[in-house]
Structure 1
Amino acid sequence: MIAERGLAGLKTRDLARAIGCANGAVYNLVADVDELILRVGSRTLRRLDAALTGAEGAGPASPQETLVRIAIAYCDFAAENLELWRALFEHRMERGKMVPDWAINEQMELFGHIYRPLAALFPKRGPEQLGITARSLFSAVHGMVALGLEQKLVAVPLPALRNEIAGLVRAMLDGLVARQN
C-alpha cells in the first residue's frame, strides 16, 4: 500500500480489507500505526542494505570508488522504491513517542557501508570523527537524491543525477584527502 500510494495512502481499514480481517485485528499484529510504518520501514531498510552490500562487494575498487558505488546504489534504490524510500524520511512518530531502539539500530547499521571505506581511506581518524564524516557524506548524497527525484522544479534526469552524485562524492573525498595531508 505504501509502495503504491505513499505514506499518506496507508489506511488501516484498507489494509484490514486487503488481508481479510477486521480493522481492529490489525492491532493484534502491531501496537499502532507508528509500529506498522516502522515495520514496513524495517523491511525497506533490509532491501536497501542488500543493495548497498551488492554495490560494496561488486569487485575490487578503491575506498573512493566503493563510496561512489554505494552512493549510486542508494540513488537507484530510492528511484526504484520511491514511495517506500520517502516513507523512511516522512514518517513522524506520534507526539511524545520515541522511535524504538530496534528501529534506530537498524538505521544506524546502514552507515557501516559508508564507515568501512572511510575508515580505510582515513586510518588515523577515530570512530567519532569517522561517524561524523559518514553522516555528512550521507547527508550530501541524500539531499541530491531527494531533490533530484522530487519531480518538481529541481528534478534531474536519473542518468545525470547519477553522474552528479559520483562527481560530488569524488570531490568531497578528494577535498578531505587533501586536507588531511
Structure 2
Amino acid sequence: MRSDERRERLRTALIDAAEAAIADNGLSALKARDLAKEAGCAVGAIYTAFPDLDALILMVNLRTLALFERAITAVPIAPAPEGAATPAERDAAVETLIRLAVAYLHFAAGNRPRWRALFQHRVTTHALPDWYLVEQVRLFRYIEAPLRVLRPDLRDRERALLARSLFSATHGLVSLGLDEKLMVLSEPVLRGQIEIVVGALGRGLAGE
C-alpha cells in the first residue's frame, strides 16, 4: 500500500474514533492516547495525519454539520416567486422558518454532545480554515430562502445578516432550554417557545 493511502486510512480511522468519542461523551472526552489506541497507531502518528487536534476536531464538526444538513433538508423550501409574494406564499415562508427552527431543536436534542462540540471548540493555534467557514455560510442559505420571500427588498448581505440573527435567536432558546445547569425544558415546551418567537419574527418581517 502506498504511503498516501496509508495516511488517508489513518486519517479516516482517527476521524471515526474522534467522532465516536465526541458523540458518546462530548469534546472533553477527546484524548490523544485514547484516539491512538482506537485507531491502532502510536500517539505521534496522529500528528502525521493532522497538524494538531484542532484540525481533527474540525473534521468531526464537518461531519456533524453534514448530519444537521440532512435533518433540515427534510423541510420543504419553496422557491421565491418572481413577482411580489402572495399572502399565502408569505405564510408558507413563515412556516418554513418555524420548521427549520424546530428541526434545529430536534437535532440538538438528539445529538447533544456533537451539537455542543460545534460551539465549545475553540481553535487556539490558527484561524478557522476557509473551507470550514464556507460550509457554515452555505448552511445559512436554508434560512435565507424563506427570507427572500418575506423581504425581497433586502440586499444579499443584509439578508445573510438577518439569517444569522434569526439563527442566533433560535440557538439562544435551544441552548438555554437544554442547559442542565440553567433550565432544562422539555422538547414540547421548547418547541412552543420557538414557534411563538420565530413565528412572531417571521410575521413581523412579512409586514403583518
Same fold at TM > 0.5: yes
- The aligned amino acid for 2:104 is Y
- The aligned amino acid for 2:114 is L
**Partners in 2 of 1:120 and 1:8 — Cα distance?**
42
Q: Does structure 1 retain, via aligned residues, the 8 Å contact 2:64–2:115?
A: yes
Per the alignment, residue 143 of structure 2 pairs with 114
1:174 aligns with 2:203: yes
Per the alignment, residue 35 of structure 2 pairs with 15
Q: By how many angstroms is 1:132 displaced?
A: 1.4
**Partners in 2 of 1:56 and 1:137 — Cα distance?**
18
1:73 aligns with 2:103: yes
Q: Does structure 1 retain, via aligned residues, the 8 Å contact 2:94–2:199?
A: yes
**Unmatched segments (≥5 aa) in structure 2:** 1-20, 79-88
Query: SS of the counterpart of 1:133?
Result: helix
Query: SS of the counterpart of 2:74?
Result: helix
**Partners in 2 of 1:55 and 1:148 — Cα distance?**
23
Per the alignment, residue 28 of structure 1 pairs with 48
1:42 aligns with 2:62: yes
Q: Does structure 2 retain, via aligned residues, the 8 Å contact 1:56–1:113?
A: no
1:2 aligns with 2:2: no
1:149 aligns with 2:178: yes
Per the alignment, residue 15 of structure 2 pairs with none
TM-score relative to the length of structure 2 = 0.80
**Unmatched segments (≥5 aa) in structure 1:** none
Q: By how many angstroms is 1:122 displaced?
A: 1.2
Q: By how many angstroms is 1:73 displaced?
A: 0.5
Per the alignment, residue 85 of structure 1 pairs with 115
Q: By how many angstroms is 1:28 displaced?
A: 2.4
**Partners in 1 of 2:188 and 2:50 — Cα distance?**
40
Structure 1 runs of 4+ aligned residues shifted over 4 Å read none
**Partners in 1 of 2:75 and 2:49 — Cα distance?**
34
- The aligned amino acid for 1:113 is Y
TM-score relative to the length of structure 1 = 0.92
Per the alignment, residue 8 of structure 2 pairs with none
Larger radius of gyration: 2
Aligned residue pairs, count? 177
Aligned-pair identity (%): 46
Q: By how many angstroms is 1:57 displaced?
A: 5.1
- The aligned amino acid for 1:35 is A
**Partners in 2 of 1:8 and 1:66 — Cα distance?**
35
Higher alpha-carbon deviation: 153-162 or 30-39: 153-162
Deviations 1:30-89 (A, max 9, x none): 11111001000000000111111112359x981111111110001110111111111111
**Partners in 1 of 2:177 and 2:76 — Cα distance?**
23
